[in-house]
Amino acid sequence: MTITTESTSSTHDTTVAIGAEDRAERLTSAGQAWSERIAVSPKNAQLTFSAKGTARGSVSSVITAGKHTFTVDEPTPLAGDDAAPNPVEYALGALISCQIVVYRLYAQNLGLAIDSLDVTADGDLDVQGLFGADETVRPGFSAVRVNVAISGPDSDEAYQELQRTVDAHCPVFDIFTNPTPIDVTVTKVG
Which residue from 121, 112, 122 is spatially nearest to 151, judged by alpha carbons?
Answer: 112
Which residue from 102, 71, 66 is spatially nearest to 87, judged by alpha carbons?
Answer: 71
Dihedral over Cα of 167, 173, 177, 180: its sign: positive
Q: Nearest 5°: CA angle at 7, between 101 and 92? A: 35
Q: How far apart, in whole angstroms, are the C-alpha atoms of residue 63 and residue 163?
A: 31
CATH hierarchy code of domain 88-178 = 3.30.300.20
Q: How far apart, in whole angstroms, are the C-alpha atoms of residue 24 and residue 163?
A: 19
Quick check: pTM over 0.75? yes
Q: How far apart, in whole angstroms, are the C-alpha atoms of residue 21 and residue 8?
A: 30
Q: What is the pLDDT along the chain (190 residues), one digit of tens a residue?
A: 544 333 333 444 556 667 778 888 888 888 888 889 999 999 999 999 999 999 999 999 999 999 999 999 999 999 999 999 999 999 999 999 999 999 999 999 999 999 999 999 999 999 999 999 999 999 999 999 999 999 999 999 999 999 999 999 999 999 999 999 999 999 999 8
